[in-house]
């Protein structure tokens, strides 16, 4: 299997995670293991890297890619929404760092039969985890029109959501919509290309992908769970690729970084609420040279936080 994916901001991720050679690092979105390999190379035989991915192909590629590392490597096929159970099963309590590199890999997009790309004609699928039953075909052919409109608006931020959903519902009455190519034709005839907005199918495909994989609803809790697992001084690094996921990450970090939550007019703090993390600087974006060599890097943002307080152990 040729697993092509260029990892984003590798040096920045390594720097943000402040790697300790005997530390335990959790890569929640292992992919082909590009970031994990870079982290693993900095670890000694006492160090450990735990990689999670829900995609079978990613697991295969990463297993091969990480096989030569000196540190302990644990690769788990699963969803990062279950990271607590995964760490418990591995008998791992606290970790030194966690990384989320969200979304899909270039391999997934570029493999036609996965159905992620609007530029390749293939069956409507878009599942990262092919054990799950909900596919893009199901969404497009069986969801009510109003639900389609909502998904296109919320997850695709598409202005012509109503028109596109209506056209899909008209077409599927004639015969089921089976391929990405058929869907792209419907989208193209109902939404104009805009100079800055790019191809309208891009936004609709993003929306369907988010729905099929339930990408947004698990994100905030997963980040909170990862932070709860960090040791004091441990680091969290999250790479996002579009404004919807970035907004969730930013808000979640803001909540975790909040200290006292007493009403403003209280003279003294009675809540005893403490910030769990300190947000380290603003979002980091890739250097121009990386964007030039990897167009996927263009929209990437890396947000980093340092764990400063553990509510469970009351240590500071
Ligand atoms: C951008 S790629 C990661 C690439 C990786 N960092 C590298 O350098 O090779 C994102 C990966 O996360 C996986 N993924 C996305 N959401 C996930 C989730 N909720 N649980 C587990 N894996 C997920 C995808 O299957 C994909 O392989």
Beta-strand pair 277-279/301-307: antiparallel
Q: Is the pLDDT of residue 193 over 80?
A: no
Q: What is the token pair recorded at 85? A: 């159970």
Alpha-carbon distance of 94 to 17, in angstroms, equals 15
Report the percent of the chain where pLDDT is more than 70. 97
In CATH, the number for domain 114-213 is: 1.10.150.170
Which of 192, 209, 201 lies closest to 118, judged by CA? 201
Amino acid 316: pLDDT: 44
Amino acid 197: pLDDT: 67
- Choosing from 7, 30, 64 the residue with most ligand 1 atoms within 8 A of its CB, the one to mutate for a pocket test is 30
- The Å distance, Cα 268 to ligand 1 centre, comes to 44
- pLDDT interval class at 3 (50, 70, 90): confident
Residue whose Cα lies nearest atom 8 of ligand 1: it is 34
Residue with tokens 């012509």: 160
Which CATH superfamily, name and number, covers 10-103+216-307? Answer: Vaccinia Virus protein VP39 (3.40.50.150)
- The Å distance, Cα 13 to ligand 1 centre, comes to 15
Range(s) of the chain covered by CATH 3.40.50.150: 10-103+216-307
Amino acid 30: pLDDT: 98
Amino acid 195: pLDDT: 67
Residue with tokens 């441990």: 234
Residue whose Cα lies nearest atom 15 of ligand 1: it is 103
**pLDDT tens digits along 250-273:** 999 999 999 998 999 999 999 988
Alpha-carbon distance of 228 to 249, in angstroms, equals 15
- What's the rounded mean pLDDT across residues 212-216? 98
**pLDDT tens digits along 39-95:** 999 999 999 999 999 999 999 999 999 999 999 999 999 999 999 999 999 999 999
- The Å distance, Cα 105 to ligand 1 centre, comes to 7
Q: What is the token pair recorded at 310? A: 């553990």
- The Å distance, Cα 33 to ligand 1 centre, comes to 9
Contacts of 315 (CB under 8 A, 6+ apart): 232, 309
Report the percent of the chain where pLDDT is more than 90. 92
Q: Is the pLDDT of residue 192 over 80?
A: no
Which of 182, 216, 222 lies closest to 201, judged by CA? 182
- The Å distance, Cα 102 to ligand 1 centre, comes to 6
Pseudo-torsion of CA 286, 287, 290, 296, nearest 10°? 30
- Kindly report which listed range (8-17, 160-169, 258-267) carries the lowest average pLDDT score: 258-267
- The Å distance, Cα 100 to ligand 1 centre, comes to 8
Contacts of 306 (CB under 8 A, 6+ apart): 233, 234, 235, 277, 278, 280
- What's the rounded mean pLDDT across residues 213-220? 98
* Helix and strand totals (H; E) in the chain: 13, 7
Residue whose Cα lies nearest atom 27 of ligand 1: it is 31
Please tell me the number of Cα atoms within 13 Å of 10 on its side-chain side: 15
Amino acid 315: pLDDT: 46
Q: What is the token pair recorded at 178? A: 């089976």
**Mean pLDDT computed over every residue of the chain:** 95
Residue whose Cα lies nearest atom 12 of ligand 1: it is 29
Atom of ligand 1 nearest to the CA of 35: 8
- From first CA to last CA, the distance across the chain in angstroms is 47
Range(s) of the chain covered by CATH 1.10.150.170: 114-213
Q: Is the pLDDT of residue 1 over 90?
A: no
Amino acid 257: pLDDT: 97
Burial 36-46 (b: 16+ CB within 10 A, else e): bbbbbebbeee
Beta-strand pair 95-101/24-27: parallel
Query: Which DSSP string do the residues of 53-71 spell out, in sequence order?
Result: ES-HHHHHHHHHHTTT-SS
Alpha-carbon distance of 138 to 176, in angstroms, equals 10
3-state secondary structure of 264: coil
- pLDDT interval class at 231 (50, 70, 90): very high
Ligand 1: does its nearest atom lie under 6 Å from the Cβ of 103? yes
């Amino acid at each position: 299997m040729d697993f092509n994916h260029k990892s984003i901001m590798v040096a920045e991720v390594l720097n943000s995670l402040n790697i300790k050679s005997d530390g335990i690092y959790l890569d929640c979105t292992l992919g082909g293991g590009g970031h994990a390999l870079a982290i693993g190379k900095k670890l000694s035989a006492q160090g450990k890297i735990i990689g999670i991915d829900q995609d079978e192909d990613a697991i295969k590629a990463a297993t091969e890619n990480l096989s030569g590392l000196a540190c302990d490597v644990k690769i788990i096929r699963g969803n990062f929404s279950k990271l607590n159970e995964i760490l418990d099963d591995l008998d791992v309590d606290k970790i030194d760092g966690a990384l989320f590199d969200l979304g899909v890999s270039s391999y997934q997009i570029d493999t036609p039969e996965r159905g992620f790309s609007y530029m390749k004609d293939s069956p409507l699928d878009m599942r990262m985890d092919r054990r799950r039953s909900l596919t893009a075909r199901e969404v497009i052919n069986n969801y009510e029109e109003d639900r389609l409109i909502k998904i296109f608006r919320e997850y695709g931020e598409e202005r012509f959501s109503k028109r596109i959903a209506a056209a899909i519902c008209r077409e599927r009455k004639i015969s089921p919509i089976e391929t990405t190519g058929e869907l792209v034709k419907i989208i193209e005839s109902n939404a104009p290309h805009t100079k800055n907005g790019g191809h309208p199918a891009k936004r609709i495909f993003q929306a369907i992908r988010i729905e099929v994989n339930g990408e947004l609803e698990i994100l905030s809790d997963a980040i909170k769970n990862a932070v709860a697992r960090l040791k004091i001084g441990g680091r969290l690094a999250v790479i996002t690729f579009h404004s919807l996921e970035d907004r969730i990450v930013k808000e979640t970090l803001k909540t975790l970084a909040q200290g006292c939550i007493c009403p403003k007019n209280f003279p003294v703090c009675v809540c005893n609420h403490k910030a769990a993390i300190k947000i380290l600087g603003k979002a980091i974006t890739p250097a121009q040279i990386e964007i030039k060599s990897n167009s996927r890097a263009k929209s990437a943002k890396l947000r980093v936080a340092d764990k400063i307080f553990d509510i469970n152990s009351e240590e500071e």
